């Protein structure tokens, strides 16, 4: 009798598991036949970024597919919808799924631009925090760091600029611009202080602060973190000792020194 009980126990467990699998399969097949009764769209908007909204996403999902509502869940190509949304330059990720109540859910995550690049020819684009390029839009202008001057950066929509730069024979500045922007926005002091970056005729960066009116020369993109730390110390200890309004340029490119140039007076 004991042997029979020992035999029946694992058999019962196996039959229970099989029953669960069969039930799940039935539920899945049933849900695939269930019609789409509603479309729920949610757009993640970090820092109030508004390159795309729920209405625009809804329009894209329903474009050439007015019959979506009422279609069987299993007939909806959710993977294709995800790929289409992810192909948008302003979208970093998209997730489409349905629930048993007949609702199809669309979740979109926007890219977060941190810098806007203005080329010498007037063309411009954004770079997001992960290094992806984004086109400008007429409907929304985020407040981000601006880089201008002697720039000739190619815009490649939907490409990772740093990766693309590594494959080019021509020298571009996208990686250095991204590195500088990441340093600035990561530090509350610099994020509040620096308003614009200018690339001079030698291809070196000059920072324009929101107050003071000086040009701050930080060089060609190397040792940026160390140079900004040196500048921070100068702001904290050096500037209080002098009338900083007398100076039009602060140069932190050189080791162990800061060179200040007085403003030109008429």
Where do the domains of the chain lie?
Answer: 38-110, 113-262
Give alpha helix (H) positions in 70-117: 78-86
DSSP single-letter state for residue 160: B
Q: What is the pLDDT of residue 26?
A: 40
Closest CA to 162 of 136, 132, 184, 186: 132
Q: What is the pLDDT of residue 19?
A: 45
Q: How far apart are CA 193 and CA 10, in angstroms?
A: 70
Q: How far apart are CA 143 and CA 114, in angstroms?
A: 9
Q: What is the pLDDT of residue 229?
A: 93
* pLDDT tens digits, one per residue of 13-27: 655 555 454 444 444
Under CATH, which architecture does the 113-262 domain have? 3-Layer(aba) Sandwich (3.40)
* pLDDT tens digits, one per residue of 85-115: 999 999 999 999 999 899 999 999 999 999 9
Q: What is the pLDDT of residue 246?
A: 80
- 250: Cβ–Cβ under 8 A, 6 or more apart, which residues? 214, 215, 216, 217, 231, 234, 258, 259, 260, 261
CATH of 38-110, one of 1.10.10, 3.40.1350, 3.10.20, 3.40.600: 3.10.20
Q: What is the pLDDT of residue 127?
A: 94
Residue 131 Rama label (left phi>0; alpha psi -120 to 50; beta): left
Q: What is the pLDDT of residue 17?
A: 58
Residue 241 near residue 234, CB atoms below 8 Å = no
Q: What is the pLDDT of residue 170?
A: 45
- The residues of the chain scoring below 70 in pLDDT are 1-31, 64-66, 158, 161-172, 239-242, 265-266
Q: What is the pLDDT of residue 265?
A: 66
């Amino acid at each position: 009798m004991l042997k029979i009980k020992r035999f029946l126990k694992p058999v019962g467990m196996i039959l229970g598991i099989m029953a669960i699998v069969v039930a799940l399969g039935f539920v899945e097949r049933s849900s695939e036949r269930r019609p789409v009764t509603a479309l729920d769209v949610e757009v993640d908007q970090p820092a109030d970024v508004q390159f795309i909204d729920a209405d625009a996403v809804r329009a894209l999902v329903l474009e050439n597919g007015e019959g979506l509502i009422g279609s069987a869940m299993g007939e909806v190509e959710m993977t294709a919808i995800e790929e289409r949304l992810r192909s948008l330059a302003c979208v970093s990720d998209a997730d489409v799924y349905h629930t048993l109540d007949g609702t199809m859910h669309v979740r979109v995550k926007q890219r977060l631009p941190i810098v806007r690049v203005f080329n010498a020819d007037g063309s411009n684009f954004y770079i997001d925090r992960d290094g992806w390029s984004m086109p400008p839009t007429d409907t929304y202008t985020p407040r981000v760091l601006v880089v201008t001057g002697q720039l000739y950066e190619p815009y490649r929509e939907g490409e990772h600029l740093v990766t693309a730069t590594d494959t080019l024979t021509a020298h571009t500045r996208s990686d250095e611009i991204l590195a500088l922007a990441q340093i600035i926005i990561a530090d509350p002091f610099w994020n509040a202080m620096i308003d614009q970056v200018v690339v001079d005729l030698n291809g070196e960066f000059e920072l324009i602060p929101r107050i003071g009116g000086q040009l701050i020369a930080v060089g060609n993109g190397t040792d940026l973190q160390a140079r900004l730390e040196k500048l921070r110390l100068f702001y904290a200890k050096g500037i209080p000792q002098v009338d900083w309004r007398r100076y039009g340029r602060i140069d932190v490119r050189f080791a162990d020194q800061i060179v200040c140039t007085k403003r030109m007076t008429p």
